[in-house]
Amino acid sequence: MIDTTDLIRELVYQLRLGEDSAYEFKSVSFQGNKIKTPHKDGIADEIAAFANTSGGIIVLGVHDQTKAVEGILAEQLDDVELWLTNIVNEKISPPPLIQTRLVEVPNREGYQKPVIWVRILKSLFVHRSPNGYYHRVGSSKREMAPDLLARMFQQRSMARLIRFDEQVVPNAPLEAIDPSLKERFLRDNDLPESMQLSKLYLIGEDDEKETYLTVSGVLLLTAQPSDYLSSAWLQCVAYSGTERNAEFQVDALDCRDSIDQQIECAFSFVKRNMRIEAVKRPGRIDIPQYDLGAVYEAIVNAVAHRDYGVHGAKVRLHMFSDRLEIMTPGGLPNSLTVKTMDANSITRNETLVNLLSRYYSADPVTKRQNIIERRGEGVPKILSASQTLSLQKPKYEQSDEAQAELKLTIYAASKAMNGIVEQFDE
């Protein structure tokens, strides 16, 4: 991330030059408690135009004509940041990646004024804003002609032919790497560290030959991947009843560490909240609600095979008194369907899955060596082991909504269920 002193120095220099293809100034005015200018649709068009071109900077709090640093009142900064975030998420499809910084810049009289520095990253997608598809030409935005728009869709679709998990994340510099997380990948003392990480597709170069973490690198090498990929975390909630009702919530946990730790975090949550019933006949027989091997496999599948390109959509693990549900963003990859997924195996994040299978050990409770083992056997194991325990076959459901989601329901075992106790008589 750019140093604050360097950022301010660059801003002061740019104020003398004015707007260009990479810089836009916008003054901010309020009417009562509401932001009057700039207009929401207009600022959305500006942001999308930068994302559709080569990225750029918008500075909120500077007059675009006079270049005067007007600033934003300190007590209004949070409101403006929230306003901006809502615009990006609600008025631009798909939402582009942005970064914001609060800095103080001297005005012409030498007084420090707070402004909001907004960096829009070049995108792999084509973004539509309220008034259409825009790109940046010189110091202004322009609506894209049909031929240019078609060409841009083609170019960015081709760029995405590279495996998604091998693509660089422009807001994730090498400084984001947690030293304790990279050691497992450094096995050749004769090769430079950067070369070893590059060969594993954990880091890569963008079009300008700048080196950043890839999607896989962010997920495995950063302490909190959601700082760089907004959807890269897992939500766990446990309810005492059978409905999703806050009044009956008994436990909740957000798992935001590197994804191998997210898997362990969610697995520990299930073990902590899972009931174990006892039967005496003679001696004690414990009946767990869920087969832990199947649960572990389900969590691994959700984290490893989900679509990390879906903006802001987390994996959700919800426990109820009679079932466990795991909702995975992005649905099934390629040609897989709910009917064929137990017989076929198609991987969405090939690089990520490969690294998890080679470099990461599984929880000892699961009696397996690595987090991912024997490709193609995960779903059959979930279905078979869970049905053997609860006498009910787990259910996969795919939503038909534009932002697809795959839902897995694993039903809880109980001694009250007809015939289940006999399984533990041996």
Confidence of residue 405 (pLDDT cuts 50, 70, 90): confident
Percent of the chain with pLDDT over 90: 59
Other Cβ atoms closer than 10 A to 159: 13
Cα–Cα distances in Å, from 82 out to 29, 73, 114, 224?
15, 15, 16, 22
Q: Over the chain, what is the mean pLDDT?
A: 88
418 — pLDDT class (breaks 50, 70, 90): very low
In the predicted structure, residue 154 carries a pLDDT above the cut 80 = no
Token reading at 334: 């390629």
User: 345 pLDDT exceeds 50?
Assistant: yes
Predicted local confidence at residue 375, as pLDDT: 64
Answer yes or no: is pLDDT of 187 > 80.
yes
pLDDT of residue 421: 55
Q: Which of 51-60, 160-169, 384-393 has the lowest mean pLDDT?
A: 160-169
Closest by CA to 313, choosing from 231, 228, 399, is: 231
Residue 144 has pLDDT above 60, yes or no: yes
Distance CA(274)–CA(296), nearest Å, equals 13
pLDDT at 423 over 60: no
Residues in the chain: 426
Question: Could you give the CA distance from residue 146 to residue 270 in angstroms, rounded to a whole number?
Answer: 52
Asked if pLDDT for residue 426 goes beyond 60, the answer is no
We find that the CATH architecture of domain 234-424 is: 2-Layer Sandwich (3.30)
Average pLDDT, stretch 157-163? 64
Task: Report the CATH number of the 4-159 domain.
Answer: 3.30.950.30
pTM beyond cutoff 0.85:
no
Give the model's confidence band at 303: pLDDT under 50 very low, under 70 low, under 90 confident, else very high. Answer: very high
Average pLDDT over residues 274-297: 84
Q: What is the arithmetic mean of pLDDT over 22-37?
A: 93
Instruction: Tell whether the model's pLDDT for residue 160 goes beyond 90.
Output: no
Q: Mean pLDDT, to the nearest integer, of 46-66?
A: 93
Report which of residues 310 and 316 the model is more confident about.
316
**What pLDDT does residue 177 have?**
97
Inter-residue contact 292 to 271 (CB < 8 Å): yes
Q: Are residues 225 and 256 in contact, defined by beta-carbon separation less than 8 angstroms?
A: yes
Is residue 334 pLDDT above 70, yes or no? no
Question: Quick check: 289 and 273 in contact, CB under 8 A?
Answer: no
Per the CB < 8 A criterion, the answer to whether 269 and 251 are in contact is yes
For residue 191, give every residue at least 6 positions away whose Cβ sits within 8 Å of its Cβ, in sequence order, or none. Answer: none
Range in 58-72, 177-191, 281-295 with the lowest mean pLDDT = 281-295
Q: Once rounded to an integer, what is the mean pLDDT over residues 363-370?
A: 85
Number of alpha carbons in the 13 Å side-chain half-sphere of residue 26: 24
Residue 416 binned pLDDT confidence (cut-offs 50, 70, 90): low
Going by the DSSP 8-state scheme, the letter that residue 167 receives in this structure is S
Between the ranges 101-110, 184-193, 317-326, 417-426, where is the mean pLDDT highest? Answer: 317-326
Indicate if the pLDDT at residue 343 is higher than 90: no
User: Which pLDDT score is estimated for 340?
Assistant: 64
Cis peptide upstream of residue 329 (ω within 30 degrees of 0): no
pLDDT score at 24:
94
What are the pLDDT digits (tens) for 121-138?
888 789 999 999 999 998
116 CB neighbour count, 10 Å cutoff: 21
**Other Cβ atoms within 10 Å of 32 Cβ, number:** 6
In sequence order, the 6+-apart residues with CB closer than 8 A to the CB of 81 are 100, 102, 116
> In the chain, where are the structural domains located?
4-159, 164-227, 234-424
CA-closest candidate to residue 49, choices 124, 118, 140: 140
